[in-house]
Amino acid sequence: MRIRLIFMLLALGALCSSQAQTLRAHSPGNQMKLQVSIDAVGTPSYRVDFKGKAVILPSGLGLRTKQGELTSQFRVVGVDSTAADETWKPVWGEVREIRNNYRQLTVHLEQKMKDPVRMDIIFRVFDDGIGFRYSFPSQPNLQHFIVTGEASAFRMAGDHKAFWIPGDYETNEYPYTTSTLSSLSVTKVSKSNEIYARFIADSSSVQTPLMMKSNDGLYINLHEAALVNYPAMQLHLDKSTLTFSSALVPDAVGNMAYVQTPFATPWRTIIVAESAAGILASKIILNLNEPCKIPETSWIKPQKMVGVWWELHVGKSSWDYANASDVGANPDWSKVKPHGHHGATTANTKRYIDFAAAHGIEGVLVEGWNVGWEDWFGKWKEDVFDFVTPYPDFDVQELHRYAASKGVKLIMHHETSASVTNYERRMDDAYRFMKTNGYDAVKTGYVGYIIPRGEHHDGQWMVNHYNRVAAKTAEYQIMVDMHEPTRPTGMHRTYPNWLASEATRGNEFNGWSVGNAPEHETILPFTRVMGGPVDYTPGIFQIKLDKYGKKGFGPHTTLTKQMALYVTLYSPLQMAADLPENYEAHMDAFQFIKDVAVDWDDSRYIEAEPGDYLTIARKAKGKDSWFIGSITDENKRTSVVPLSFLDAGKTYLATIYRDGAAAHWDRNPMEYIIERFAVTGKSILKTPVVEGGGYAVSLVPATPEMLKGVKKYK
Ligand code: NOJ
Ligand code: CA
* Local confidence band at 207 (pLDDT 50, 70, 90 cut-offs): very high
Q: Which of 172, 365, 373, 508 to mutate to test the pocket of ligand 1 (most atoms within 8 A of CB)?
A: 508
Dihedral sign, Cα of residue 559, residue 571, residue 213, residue 232? positive
Sign for the CA dihedral angle at 521, 527, 530, 535 comes to negative
Residue 10 has pLDDT above 50, yes or no: no
Give pLDDT, residue 73: 97
Read off the pLDDT band of 329 (50, 70, 90): confident
How many angstroms does the Cα of residue 633 sit away from the middle of ligand 2?
Answer: 6
Residues 212, 569: Cα–Cα separation, whole Å: 19
Q: Which residues of 214-241 are buried (b: 16+ CB within 10 A; e: fewer)?
A: beeebbbbbbbbbbbbbbbbbbbbeeee
- Residue 14 pLDDT greater than 60, yes or no: no
By alpha-carbon position, which residue is closest to atom 10 of ligand 1? Answer: 415
Name residues whose C-beta falls within 8 Å of residue 501's C-beta, 6 or more positions apart in sequence: 481, 482, 483, 485, 487, 488, 532, 533, 534, 535
At residue 415, the pLDDT reads 98
Q: What is the mean pLDDT of residues 620-646?
A: 98
CA distances from 11 to 23, 80, 81, 147, 697 (A): 14, 13, 15, 33, 61
- The pLDDT assigned to 195 comes to 53
Q: Nearest CA to 84 among 124, 55, 140? A: 124
Question: pTM higher than 0.85, yes or no?
Answer: yes
Does residue 509 carry a pLDDT above 80?
Answer: yes
> φ and ψ at 349, to 5 degrees?
-60, -40
Mean pLDDT computed over 298-319: 98
Pocket of ligand 1 (CB under 6 A): 309, 367, 415, 445, 447, 483, 502, 508
pLDDT, one tens digit per residue, over 571-625 is 999 999 999 999 999 999 999 999 999 999 999 999 999 999 999 999 999 999 9
Residue 238 has pLDDT above 50, yes or no: yes
The 3-state DSSP class for residue 106 equals: strand
**Do the bridges between strand 409-415 and strand 363-366 make them parallel or antiparallel, or are there none, so unpaired?**
parallel
* Cα angle: 158, vertex 161, 167; to 5 degrees: 105
Chain centroid to CA 419: 23
Check residue 3 and give its pLDDT. 41
Q: Which residue is closest in CA terms to ligand 1's atom 7?
A: 309
Q: How far is the CA of 278 from the centre of ligand 1 (A)?
A: 33
Residue 356 pLDDT exceeds 90: yes
Determine the atom of ligand 1 nearest the C-alpha atom of 415.
11
Fold of the CATH domain 2-287: Beta-galactosidase; Chain A, domain 5 (2.70.98)
CA 635–ligand 2 middle distance (angstroms):
7
Residue 675 has pLDDT above 90, yes or no: yes
Residues 424-467 have pLDDT tens digits of: 999 999 999 999 999 999 999 999 999 999 999 999 999 999 99
CB-CB neighbours of 55 under 10 Å: 25
CATH class of segment(s) 535-567+596-714: mainly beta
**What residues are labeled active site?**
508
Ligand 2 centroid distance, CA of 634 (Å): 7
Per residue in 526-551, pLDDT (tens digit) is 999 999 999 999 999 999 999 999 99
Ligand located closest to 172 CA: 1
Question: Residue 6 CB: number of other CB atoms within 10 A?
Answer: 12
**Ligand located closest to 484 CA:** 1
Query: Cα 73 vs. chain centroid, distance in angstroms?
Result: 38
Ligand nearest to the CA of 520: 2
| CA nearest ligand 1 atom 6, residue | 445
Q: How confident is the model at residue 7 (pLDDT cuts 50, 70, 90)?
A: very low
Three-state secondary structure of 521-558:
HHHHHHCHHHCCCECCCCCCCCCCHHHHCCCCCCCCCC
State residue 188's pLDDT score: 67
Question: How far is it, in rounded angstroms, from Cα 126 to Cα 633?
Answer: 32
- Of ligand 1's atoms, which has the minimum distance to the CA of residue 319? 10
* Residue 129 to residue 271: CA distance in whole angstroms: 4
Partners of 629 in the β-ladder: 616, 696
Query: Taken in order 254, 425, 482, 224, is the CA torsion positive or negative?
Result: positive
The residues that bridge with 26 in the sheet, in sequence order, are 33
DSSP secondary structure letters along 417-476: TTBHHHHHHHHHHHHHHHHHTT--EEEEE--SS-BSTT--TTSHHHHHHHHHHHHHHHHT
Share of the chain above pLDDT 70, in %: 96
Average pLDDT over residues 46-63: 98
Question: How far is it, in rounded angstroms, from Cα 266 to Cα 124?
Answer: 13
Q: Averaged over 180-191, what is the pLDDT? A: 82
Q: How confident is the model at residue 12 (pLDDT cuts 50, 70, 90)?
A: very low
Strand 303-308 vs strand 573-575: parallel, antiparallel, or unpaired? parallel
As a whole number, mean pLDDT of residues 101-118 equals: 97
Within the chain, all domains assigned CATH 2.70.98.10 are found at 2-287
Strand order in the sheet with 257-260: 68-70, 63-65, 144-150, 257-260
Q: With beta carbons less than 8 A apart as the criterion, state whether 392 and 321 touch.
A: yes
**Ligand 1 nearest atom to the CA of residue 445, by list position:** 11
Please tell me the distance between residue 690's alpha carbon and the centre of ligand 2 in angstroms: 14
Q: What is the pLDDT of residue 377?
A: 87
pLDDT number for residue 136: 98
pLDDT of residue 199: 80
- The ligand minimizing its distance to the Cα of 521 is 2
Q: Is the pLDDT of residue 16 over 60?
A: no
Q: Which of 173, 319, 367 to mutate to test the pocket of ligand 1 (most atoms within 8 A of CB)?
A: 367
Average pLDDT of the chain? 95
Pocket mutation for ligand 1, best pick of 419, 447, 480, 540 (most atoms within 8 Å of C-beta) = 447
**Range(s) for CATH 2.60.40.1180 in the chain?**
535-567+596-714
Alpha carbon of 705 to ligand 1 centroid (Å): 46
Proportion of the chain above pLDDT 90, given as a percent: 94
Give 445 Cα–ligand 1 centroid separation in angstroms.
6
**Beta pairing class for 267-273 and 711-712:** unpaired
Q: What is the CA radius of gyration of the chain?
A: 26
Band of residue 295 on the pLDDT scale cut at 50, 70, 90 = very high
Ligand 1 atom 3, closest CA: 483
Distance CA 497, CA 478 (A): 7
Which ligand 1 atom is at minimum distance from the Cα of 483?
3
- Is the pLDDT at 389 greater than 70? The verdict is yes
Question: What's the rounded Cα separation, in Å, for the pair 517 and 644?
Answer: 33
Q: Count the Cβ atoms, other than its own, within 10 Å of residue 98.
A: 16
Give me the residues paired with residue 666 across strands: none
* Interval 467-489: pLDDT, tens: 999 999 999 999 999 999 999 99
Q: What is the pLDDT of residue 200?
A: 82
Q: Is 378's pLDDT higher than 90? A: no
Amino acid at site 667: R
The ligand 1 atom at the shortest distance from the C-alpha of residue 367 is 7
pLDDT over threshold 50, residue 243:
yes
CB 327 within 8 A of CB 375: yes
Q: Please name which of 2, 37, 7 lies closest in space to residue 22, comparing C-alpha atoms.
A: 37
